[in-house]
Amino acid sequence: MLLEKTTRMNFLFDFYQALLTEKQRSYMELYYLDDHSLGEIAGSYEVSRQAVYDNIRRTEAMLEEYEDKLRLLEKFQQRQRMLQELTVAIQDDDATLEARLALIEQLKESD
C-alpha cells in the first residue's frame, strides 16, 4: 500500500508540480523523490516536523484534487495500456490488420 501511494504521488507530482508553490515542490521532492524523513526536512527548513507533515498532506490533497479535475494521470495510464495492447497485436501474427488499426484509432481518440 505504501509503495502504491508513493508511486501515485510521484506520478501526480510529475504531472502537476508546476501548479505548486516552491515550498510545496521542495517538500514533496525531498519527501517522495529523495526519501528524506520529516525530521530531516524540518531541520533543513528550521520548522517543526508537524509543519512539514501538514504541508505534505495538504499538497497531497491538492494533487489528488487536480487529478480529479484534469485526469492527466488517468489519461496517461489509459494510453500506456493501449500502447501495450497495440504492441502485443503487432507481435501477434494472428491479429488482423483491422484489429491493429482499431487500436491505433483508440489511441488517437484518447487525446
Calculate mean pLDDT across residues 8-22: 97
Domain shared by 81 and 61, yes or no: no
Tens of pLDDT, residue by residue over 47-57, are 999 999 999 99
What CATH number has the domain bearing residue 25? 1.10.10.10
34 and 60 in a single domain? The answer is: yes
Query: Which cell numbers in the block locate residue 79?
Result: 494510453
Residues 59, 24, single domain; the answer is: yes
Around Cβ 7, how many Cβ atoms within 10 Å?
Answer: 11
Same domain, 51 and 39: yes
C-alpha cell at 4: 502504491
User: Mean per-residue pLDDT for 66-88?
Assistant: 91
Shared domain check, 52 and 17: yes
Query: Domain range for residue 85?
Result: 74-109
Residues 95 and 63 in one domain: no
Q: What is the pLDDT of residue 1?
A: 61
Say how many domains are in the chain: 2
In this structure, the answer to whether residues 46 and 82 fall within a common structural domain is no
